[in-house]
Amino acid sequence: MKILITGAKGFVGKNLTASLENIRDGKDRVHTIKGLERPSDLEIYAYDIDSTQEDLVRYCQDADFVFNLAGVNRPKDQEEFMKGNFGFASTLLDTLKKYENKAPVMLSSSIQASLEGRFAGSEYGRSKLAGEELFRRYSEETGAKVLIYRFPNLFGKWCRPNYNSAVATFSNNIANDLPIQVNDRGTELDLLYIDDLIEEMLLALNGQEHRDERGFCYCPVTFHVTLGEIVDLLYSFKESRKDLSVPDMSDGFTKRLYANYLSYLPTDGFSYKLKMNRDDRGSFTELLRTADRGQVSVNISKPGITKGQHWHHTKNEKFVVVSGRGLIQLRKIGRDQDGNPYPVVNYEVSGEEITVVEMIPGYTHNIINLSDTEDLVTVMWANEPFNPEHPDTFGEPV
């Protein structure tokens, strides 16, 4: 199968091309394309502004599917909208028609083509609407399948900041300590994440596109948020390196926005140091914390050292030794019916066999480094972030 992508070097084009290349090269074992005997049979025709007319002719002769992503977003002159969006679409369809290629053609239009509400009078919207009408006439004349997508605001990795995406601009500026300007925090946006769009485009390639009652194709996963909500989340991502917080990503949008935010970090800002609480026994370092899923820390015990020797009413923990050899001990608080201390439960653990040991509420516990020479490294999860005003921690030797 031969797939033509116009605007291949743009935001959507780069992401689509990368996904198709993963399928072609056998790196993506999840997605398949109908009609391919083997992934390597997939050919990608990447057309962009630096391509030649001869390239376009050759691609239009052979293409089995066309993604028309080419367009003008920020021209110097408003008239360039019609020339760049409608004009190229005409050239593309005329070339396909000339060589009697009736391959399915996808058009990336915009919600601005509705010319409704704040989009009324938009020259960009007019050019996109003209393109839609052109594609419909082309389908009627040739019988070729046409898929028209009216994209909302797009965001995700590789989106160009200071261009036509507020999310990209805000993400870039906040990640790089640059100022932002928000005129109205209440401005509402309909957002579509790039990976969700690419997933829909791969469905379209297999003839499984989503269509509404008007015949427009659409991606079923979109988000309706305000500029204020976006900005607050982006600043919380930046602050998370200091407070070690991990946001609640269960709404789907936060997960996507966080991945988007990370893609704008400067290359010298991918890492950050953590506070190591050191003493003569070793160290304890908190890695991350959440409001409702607890915190994760790394504990290092020097040779022969015992740590812990305390218990909790409600707090519970999971200990995972990842390096070294240790002994974890637990004993139920109080005495049995005969007045004797409860027996000690022992677990020998090591980094050679990763094992989780639960710290049970009502049991005092410790962890002992059994080595005379090696540090004992333990990853610890607690079900709640440590609160010094309510530590729920009570000293008692095992």
Name the residues annotated as catalytic: 124
> Whose CA is closest to 365, among 393, 390, 335?
393
Q: Are 192 and 154 in contact (CB under 8 A)?
A: yes
> Whose CA is closest to 131, among 103, 157, 98, 92?
92
**DSSP 8-state code for residue 166:** H
161 three-state secondary structure: coil
297 three-state secondary structure: strand
- Please list, in sequence order, all residues whose beta carbon lies within 8 angstroms of the beta carbon of residue 116, skipping any fewer than 6 positions away: none
**DSSP 8-state code for residue 341:** B
- For 329, the token pair is 């001990």
Report the alpha-carbon distance of residue 138 to residue 145 in Å, rounded: 9
Q: Are 391 and 318 in contact (CB under 8 A)?
A: no
- What is the distance, to the nearest Å, from the Cα of residue 23 to the centroid of all Cα atoms in its chain? 19
How many CB atoms within 10 Å of residue 169?
19
Q: What are phi and psi of 196, to 5 degrees?
A: -70, -40
How many CB atoms within 10 Å of residue 187?
14
CA distance readout (Å), 255 to 10, 72, 176, 233, 234:
24, 30, 20, 11, 11
CA distance readout (Å), 17 to 43, 262, 322:
11, 21, 40
> Whose CA is closest to 364, among 396, 391, 342?
396
Q: Are 33 and 74 in contact (CB under 8 A)?
A: no
First to last CA, the chain: 68
How many CB atoms within 10 Å of residue 45?
20
Q: Are 67 and 4 in contact (CB under 8 A)?
A: yes
